[in-house]
Amino acid sequence: MTFSTLRSVSPLHIEYLGNMGVRATVAISLVQNNPGQNNLAKTNHLWGMVVCHHTTPRTLSFERRTICEFLGQSIAMELATKEANENIDYKLSLKQMQSRFVTALTQSSSLSEGLTQNPDDLLALTGSTGVAFCDGDDITLIGQTPPANEVSHLVAWLSKQFDQSKVYHTAALSKVYTPALNFEERTSGLLAISISQAQRLCVVWFRPEVLQTVNWAGNPNSAKTVHSGDKAGAETEIMSPRRSFALWQQTVERRSQPWKPCEIEAAQELQTAVIGLVLRHADELAQLNAELAHSNTELDAFAYIASHDLKEPLRGIYNYSSFLIEDYGDALDQDGIDKLNTLMRLTQRMENLINSLLRYSRLGRAALVIDTVDIHELVNNVIEMVKMSKSETVDFQVSPTLPAARVDRTQVAELFTNLITNGIKYNNKDPKQITIGHLSAQAAQEKGILPAGSEHLINSEVYFVQDNGIGIREKHLDLVFRIFKRLHPPKRFGGGTGAGLTISKKIVERHQGTIWLQSTYGEGSTFYFTLTGPKAE
Ligand code: ADP
């Protein structure tokens, strides 16, 4: 009894066979075994059947039945090999396309460029007619796709459909996503890969609807028949197999060609390659940032130590030159004394330069002491200090509405001091005028003052220091922020080390702000700056 099995036969099936005039039947099922690759679960599914009918009753011997079973198993096994070898050329071309993509991606500057520079390949990779590359709100459409606004809604819906494999596909989109009814002619099939859920990065391929005609042996929907009269005489509805086996044609709508496993696999492999590249770029970027931060700290430390240690021998040179003049002045002629005086002046200048460098390096090292500072009051204090050190009369205009800001008080005072003293120093007008004011970045943008690429500052407050001084030529506008860069000979306009604006820039940047200027040569300059980062407002 080892091989005995008992199976009851459905009375509906017997009725169905009877309707066909069949008195004996044998069915060999072809069960296909799916080994469960690529995140697909291991499954057995009924691929098809070999069915033999006879018009007279017959029995099959045990041997024949065993042979039939063996045949069924052999055919099922053969099926897997047949399917694997099917379209071998197509699969090979998909593989070649994949490797072309990986090469293009590694060589291009951005993901979008790498993916979309060869649109035909991107379409052919999955045998699609349209594709959308979505990077947040940026959507690039290629070929036959739904309109951009529909794609954007579709992508929002898709983000909820991605399972762990982050691949989603369907050949009948409107069945799962009803808004697709609006554009289903162009898009009945959809295959999507998610690259980053957080950054809303994904690629979505589309296939159009393909009307298919299916031939049936009889209308399968006519299986339901009404039988009247139970014992109580009531009419009941029961299932009964169809009686007619005439050819019945069905038109299948709202479906695309199904996605072949090798096409889904190609999309999945592209996804793995892209994710790998994105992660590698992120890693490289993080490493570069860490190295940059490290070398910046080292540079600051180096500048500090070097300038600090340089001061000592410099002091020695200065002191020995002054001793020489004092003790051996009589033994030297005027030329010798002049040379020693020049040496002392040069060491003095070098000390000033070193002090500027020290100040600059300290700025990078010191922690910011952030406080809510009344900028109006701070500017007035700076003006008082400046007035004390300068004898000339200056016409100061300070906007009474200068808003308070969360900043480091000492550093921002130094910033205003640098800009105001420069406005007075590089000024040959009478009277000298300095205006300190503010405006919103929005207003600055409307007036065309906001520099290109600063749209991220749109919520910030823009402060400005304006003078009616000598102005700066257009070609020198970028140079003024370079350390030790002066546009004039050392003695003109009261001298200076050329570090004031470099220090000012560093102060602004430490507050996550931006500094820029507008100037008309001979008429005056305006230095604009923000004191907060884009989101801090
Ligand atoms: P310093 O004033 O010590 O020379 P800065 O870094 O403050 O150094 O300025 C660099 C150069 O930029 C100055 O030498 C000067 O030529 C120019 N400059 C700065 N501010 C102004 C201004 N308000 N008007 C005209 N030129 C200026």
Query: Between the CA of residue 275 and those of 42, 196, 268, 271, 416, what are the distances in Å?
Result: 26, 8, 11, 6, 48
Residue whose Cα lies nearest atom 1 of ligand 1: it is 498
Q: Please indicate whether residue 472, judged by its CB atom, sits closer than 6 Å to ligand 1.
A: yes
- Mean pLDDT score, 435-455: 89
Residue 221: pLDDT band (50, 70, 90) is low
Q: Please indicate whether residue 423, judged by its CB atom, sits closer than 6 Å to ligand 1.
A: yes
Residue 228: pLDDT band (50, 70, 90) is low
Residue 429: pLDDT band (50, 70, 90) is very high
CA of 500 to the centre of ligand 1 (A): 7
DSSP state of 210: -
Cβ contact 192:133 at 8 Å: no
Cβ contact 395:433 at 8 Å: yes
pLDDT of residue 536: 38
> What's the rounded Cα separation, in Å, for the pair 6 and 466?
100
Residue 301 tokens read as: 């430390």
Residue whose Cα lies nearest atom 4 of ligand 1: it is 498
Provide the 10 A C-beta neighbour count for residue 149: 9
Q: Please indicate whether residue 111, judged by its CB atom, sits closer than 6 Å to ligand 1.
A: no
CA of 306 to the centre of ligand 1 (A): 26
CA of 399 to the centre of ligand 1 (A): 24
CA of 452 to the centre of ligand 1 (A): 24
Nearest atom in ligand 1 to the alpha carbon of residue 423 is 23
> What's the rounded Cα separation, in Å, for the pair 507 and 411?
6
Residue 302 tokens read as: 């180096």
> What's the rounded Cα separation, in Å, for the pair 51 and 288?
68
Residue whose Cα lies nearest atom 23 of ligand 1: it is 423
Q: Please indicate whether residue 525, judged by its CB atom, sits closer than 6 Å to ligand 1.
A: yes
How many whole angstroms from its chain centre is CA 241? 58
CA of 518 to the centre of ligand 1 (A): 13
pLDDT tens, residue by residue, 499-524: 999 999 999 999 989 999 999 999 99
The yes-or-no verdict on residue 235 having pLDDT over 70 is: no
Q: Which of 1-15, 158-172, 361-375 has the lowest mean pLDDT?
A: 1-15
Q: Please indicate whether residue 241, judged by its CB atom, sits closer than 6 Å to ligand 1.
A: no
pLDDT of residue 253: 81
Q: Please indicate whether residue 172, judged by its CB atom, sits closer than 6 Å to ligand 1.
A: no
Residue whose Cα lies nearest atom 16 of ligand 1: it is 487
pLDDT of residue 225: 56
Pairing of strands 189-196, 247-252: unpaired
Residue 535: pLDDT band (50, 70, 90) is very low
Residue 537: pLDDT band (50, 70, 90) is very low
338: Cβ–Cβ under 8 A, 6 or more apart, which residues? none
The yes-or-no verdict on residue 471 having pLDDT over 80 is: yes
Q: Please indicate whether residue 524, judged by its CB atom, sits closer than 6 Å to ligand 1.
A: no
CA of 510 to the centre of ligand 1 (A): 21
pLDDT of residue 40: 54
For residues 133 and 9, the model is more confident at: 133
- Mean pLDDT score, 17-25: 88
Q: Please indicate whether residue 359, judged by its CB atom, sits closer than 6 Å to ligand 1.
A: no
pLDDT of residue 533: 60
What 3-state class would DSSP assign to 412? Answer: helix
Q: Please indicate whether residue 205, judged by its CB atom, sits closer than 6 Å to ligand 1.
A: no
The answer to pTM > 0.75 is no
CA of 360 to the centre of ligand 1 (A): 16
CA of 498 to the centre of ligand 1 (A): 7
What percent of the chain clears pLDDT 90, i.e. is strictly above it? 37
The yes-or-no verdict on residue 37 having pLDDT over 70 is: no
Nearest atom in ligand 1 to the alpha carbon of residue 501 is 6
Residue 217: pLDDT band (50, 70, 90) is confident
Q: Which of 288-292, 300-304, 402-406 has the lowest mean pLDDT?
A: 300-304
Residue 442 tokens read as: 């929005």
Q: Please indicate whether residue 422, judged by its CB atom, sits closer than 6 Å to ligand 1.
A: yes
Query: Between the CA of residue 63 and those of 1, 67, 69, 75, 175, what are the distances in Å?
Result: 15, 6, 10, 18, 48
pLDDT of residue 530: 94
Q: Please indicate whether residue 426, judged by its CB atom, sits closer than 6 Å to ligand 1.
A: yes
- Mean pLDDT score, 181-204: 85
Q: Tell me the HSE value of 512 on the side-chain side, using a 13 A CA sphere.
A: 14
